[in-house]
Structure 1
Amino acid sequence: MRCIAPHWSATLIIYRKDCPRVRHHRSFLRIRLLLLILHLYVGWRLIPDLAVGTIGSALLGAYLVASALLIPLVVRVTWLNGRWLAWPVAIMTGLFSFLLGFTLVRDVVLGVWAVAGSPSTAILTSSAWLVLVATLMLAGYALWQGRRLPPVVEVDVALETLPAGLDGFTIVQLSDLHIGPTIKGGHLRRIIERTNALSPDLVAITGDLTDGRVDELMPELESLSRIEARHGTFCVTGNHEYYSEAEAWVAAFRRLGLRVLVNEFALLEHDTDQLAVAGITDLTAGYYVDRHRSDPTQAAEGMPQGIPRILLAHQPNSAPAAALSGFDLQLSGHTHGGQIWPWSLLARRANRFLAGLGREGRMWVYTSRGTGYWGPPMRLGAPSEITRIRLRQAEGASIAQT
């Protein structure tokens, strides 16, 4: 049963109430209303106290109106790709996140202050300006964090089934690159250069590689064909591939030399030992493409017994089913580690694992904070990463950053 959203297609084939695109359409309308209310709140609480005069107040009000109208476009990535508006929309999204947070903090402080007596006009004015200065400073730092070349995170994972010949086998994981409106080919080339410098045995890309359509973004992805790894590059689809044209992206990735695993596995011969690498589609894939329904059991079908089993799965919430299917290690992304604090608190509630190394029964799960970003080109409290995973025989695991 196909799932088509009315605002993405002129022809409605079947309209499913449980379809993510239908829910997305309804959520989009609610978000627009909520954003408008939040912008009105910020303007109401800050503009009068800034004491910038009629012209200044009008300019600030106009900016907030523009921000309220433009921020929802951050989800219209296909429309934004190649347009100059992409960066203003992305920056506005991050700025408002900090502006709203500091405005709320200011109101709490002023509320406590009011218990002892009304704060003076000078306090109201200085605190309002402090909100603006703090917003700009923190947004600038978050922008640097988001746009810098991701550092390498070193992870050792001990597997019970690992033979001596695979001890030290290295996997470089890239995840959530989100090539699209603000992440382009130049940034990707620098990531690939750092990846190749690590001399990996295998490169794993765990979904959300792109944001947009094949004809828009293929020139930006050319450097993917230059990844150097002994056993090649494997990837799986993420939820964002299904927001555009997942089947077309699978074909495009394969043309670039990537091995796309769609609920299947590949058997690798490493000297005299074997390693199974499987991949499943995103958890929501079946709503968009019936034959892409995520299935770790199918991915493990026919896999030899007694050899290490690695699974690439975009969402860490795939872990319970993957553990039951007998995998030893699941590599995931999707969460971005929350990307910008304090939104990471909400991301933690929505995901079984937020970031780093965890366990699901006897299976290890490593969740990358992501190599790119989505929406605002900013990160705070959740730095991006290129992950180098070493498989080990010895018990225990460690994480370090270089």
Structure 2
Amino acid sequence: MPLSSYPKHLPPIKLAVISDLHGGGVVHLEQIAKVVERTNELRPDVILFVGDAVDGPRSLLEDLMKPLKFLQSKYGTYFVTGNHEYFYGDAMEWIDLFNNSYGMNVLDNKVVHINNVCIVGLNDISSNRSGITNHSFRLETLLECNSNTPIILMHHNPIIADRIVLKKFLKHVKFI
């Protein structure tokens, strides 16, 4: 989808976004493999996975989620947690698996720059109640981006849009 606000002097960037896969429960291996296949067919520059990958603990679902290892893009796959990663045991087990075994880059309140675009990944707001040390939702991570460059914010819950505008973290906010 072309964006009128995207600077013409920057090379285009093709994004694929995955959200709310909810592996486990009613979503099975074949469906996850199909999502991976269709995403790869798009030949994206970047894959953004914005949470709720799973509906269960790693001990029960690790094999089910293995197709995610095969996501392919030019600049990588980036993941942020959704609320469901915290519902079923230790979210850090999923973060470790996605980061270290599946080749995803987990943006745990982190920033990455790709082609002069600042991609910000924020933990889900439910991470504040997770009990995991040094693992919470930190909106101030946005300040690590130059406000004159395009910023892509990865977060599972769109309710934070109000917080961004109210706290005036960014001068010119354009949501898509």
Task: Tell me if TM exceeds 0.5.
Answer: yes
Do structure 1's residue 291 and structure 2's residue 134 form an aligned pair? yes
Of residues 12, 31, 34, the one that matches 1:190 is 34
Gaps of 5+ in 2: none
Distance 2:87 2:158 in 1: 19
TM-aligned CA deviation for residue 326 of structure 1: 2.2
Cα distance in 2 for residues equivalent to 1:317 and 1:326: 16
**Amino acid in the other structure paired with 1:296:** L
Task: Tell me which amino acid in the other structure corresponds to 2:112.
Answer: A
Q: Give the Cα separation in 1 of the matches to 2:29 and 2:164.
A: 33
Give the whole-Å Cα distance in 2 for the aligned partners of 1:196 and 1:286. 33
Tell me, what secondary structure is at the counterpart of 2:25? coil
Task: Identify if the C-alpha distance between structure 1 residues 156 and 163 changes in structure 2 by more than 3 Å, giving closer, same or farther.
Answer: closer
For 1:220, give the aligned amino acid.
Answer: L
What is the alpha-carbon distance in structure 2 between the residues aligned to residue 188 and residue 203 of structure 1?
A: 15
**Structure 2 counterpart of 1:390:** none
More helix by share: 1
Question: Which letter does structure 1 place at the counterpart of 2:138?
Answer: D
The 1:287–1:262 alpha-carbon spacing in structure 2 relative to 1, beyond 3 Å, is same
CA contact (8 A) 1:311 1:327 kept: no
RMSD of aligned Cα (Å): 1.8
Post-superposition Cα deviations, 1:268-321, rounded to whole Å, max 9, x if no partner, equal 2x3xxx111111111121011352221121x22432352211110100001123
Who is 2:174 aligned against? 363
Out of 302-311 and 209-218, give the one that drifted further: 302-311
Q: Give the Cα–Cα distance (whole angstroms) in 1 for the partners of residues 133 and 159 of structure 2.
A: 20
User: Which of residues 152, 157, 160 in structure 2 aligns to 1:318?
Assistant: 160
Partners of 2:143 and 2:169 within 8 A in 1: no
- Residue 278, structure 1, aligned to residue 120, structure 2: yes
In structure 1, runs of 5+ residues without a counterpart are 1-154, 329-361, 366-402
2:79 alignment partner, SS class: strand
Whole-angstrom distance in 1 between the partners of 2:3 and 2:64: 33
For 2:151 and 2:64, the matched residues in 1 are separated by 33
Q: TM (normalized to structure 1)?
A: 0.40
1:363 aligns to what SS in structure 2?
A: coil
Q: 2:9 aligned to 156, 160, 164, which one?
A: 164
8 Å Cα contact 1:310/1:327 also seen in 2: no
Q: CA deviation at 1:327?
A: 8.4
TM-score, scaled relative to structure 2: 0.88
Letter in 1 for 2:174: M
- Give the share of equivalent positions with the same residue, in percent: 25
- Secondary structure at 1:326's aligned position in 2? coil
Q: CA deviation at 1:200?
A: 0.6
Alignment partner, residue 81 of structure 2: 237
> SS state of the match for residue 284, structure 1?
helix
> What is the CA–CA distance in structure 1 between the aligned matches of 2:4 and 2:138, rounded to whole Å?
25
**1:49-68 alignment, distance < 5 Å:** none
Structure 1, residues 356-388: CA drift from partner, whole Å, max 9, x if none?
Answer: xxxxxx3214xxxxxxxxxxxxxxxxxxxxxxx
After the TM superposition, list the runs of 4 or more consecutive aligned residues in structure 1 that deviate by more than 4 angstroms: none
Give the alignment partner of residue 111 of structure 2, picking from 265, 268, 272.
Answer: 265
| Structure showing greater Rg | 1
* Contact in 2 for aligned 1:172/1:202 (Cα 8 Å): yes
Number of residue pairs matched by the alignment: 171
CA contact (8 A) 1:327 1:363 kept: no
Change beyond 3 A, Cα 1:327–1:222: farther
